[in-house]
Amino acid sequence: MEGMRYDAIIIGSGQAGNPLSQALAKLGKSVALIDYSWLGGTCVNTGCTPTKAMIGSARVAHYARNAARWGVHAGFVTVDMREVLIRKNEIVEKSRTALETHVQTQPNIHLYKGRARFIGPKEIEVLTNKLEADQIFIDTGTNATVPKIRGVDSVNYLTNEGLLELREVPEHLIVVGAGYIGLEFAQMYRRFGSEVTVISDGGQILPKEDRDVADELQLSLEAEGIRFIMDARINRITRTARQVEFLFEGAPDDTIYGSHLLVATGRKPNTSDLELNRAGVDVDEHGYIRVNRRLETSAPGIWALGDVTGGPMFTHISYNDYQIVFGNLYEGKDLATDTRIVPYAVYTDPELGRVGITENEARKRGYKLKVGTVKMTDVARAIERGETHGMMKIVVDAANDRILGAAILCSEGGEVVQILSTLMLAEKPYTLLKGAIYIHPTMAEGLYSLMDNVKPID
């Protein structure tokens, strides 16, 4: 069959692929955009948009249920999951529709709905169509992994996608995994009214974070009634008539029971059906596409962007991947992934805003350090809001007083940390903020005390 010829082929319409298609179309390039599902990728459909919408509903339930703490008596609180899902779906559908409409109105973009596979270095097959282009961009993202636990395939486990569609509040939700996704869902469903137990084979929650920050968040979640079983080795999972049964090796309890199981133990790349070997695109042992600092693959004229590269798995990083590739190819820039400063947030409550490297990582790299911390119990705005769980932490290079990283664990921590992120972008010392004027009272005002507490450490 004779192929359709394009200037560019983009596989995947996530937060890198979609803006890239729009930018290329504006330059007059002919673009084939391929996606087998809804436009918008994980973020719009099964990630950021739906989860944060539901976290918003859960937060209101939490405030209403605990309103007496603030002298407000709201009465008996119930959660209608049908209405929660309707609200969430309306927000998601609005985003999907906007993307679809925008693509359909671009004459230079031809949308193909189906799964793509390489049939040659510059050739793609989707459904019965053969497409050709000198530039091909891969933005196929990831999906949930399932741990190799005996019996897991027999218990109707849920991943993040399935849990987002659950029409009832679980009686007892068991979460396997204590990373970002697992903790957000654990708190969300605890606030909806579920009993929640988090099981992890690690010694701390959020294993990529510093221990003091992780422990502070765990204390806050435990205060809401979430149970944690750490350093656990699950021997077998079975389902009885009504419950999921966990048997452990060396855990505090030999057996626990739950009504629903969420598997949140990591992600794997959507590369297995692309037949990348036909294009000469290398992948690592986990299936992630190998790229250089400019996001070029091993095959000339093929780039990979977003989560499929195995880099930081955040929507804003996928978008920045688009900025890097487009800037280098069409704007005469010299951008790379190894020089960027990466901020991110974990949407628990308190919210963890993070940027740069941790104290633990800085020590491994051999830096001489200064570190500052302050508890939210010492921040006026947190006291006034009645939300004093959390802490602020800053890690500084003692050689030049520049910020290496920071963790802000408080209400709106993701907003506050971006103040420090901006200072890092400007390559200015942390001392610049010691003389700053902060609005009183705000969470950011806690930076006063944080800066004053910075001290050299061994």
The answer to whether 73 is a known catalytic residue is: no
C-alpha to C-alpha distance for 367 and 322, rounded to whole angstroms: 32
Residue 418: burial class (beta carbons within 10 Å; 0-12, 13-18, 19+): middle
> Of the listed 73, 316, 389, 440, which one is catalytic?
440
Q: Is the preceding peptide bond at 343 cis, omega within 30 degrees of 0? A: no
Give helix 48-65 / helix 180-192 axis angle, nearest 10°.
Answer: 40
Q: What does the angle CA 68 – CA 73 – CA 77 come to, to the nearest 5 degrees?
A: 95
* Backbone angles phi and psi of 277, in degrees to 5: -60, -30
What is the total residue count of the chain?
A: 458
C-alpha to C-alpha distance for 137 and 140, rounded to whole angstroms: 9
Residues involved in catalysis? 440
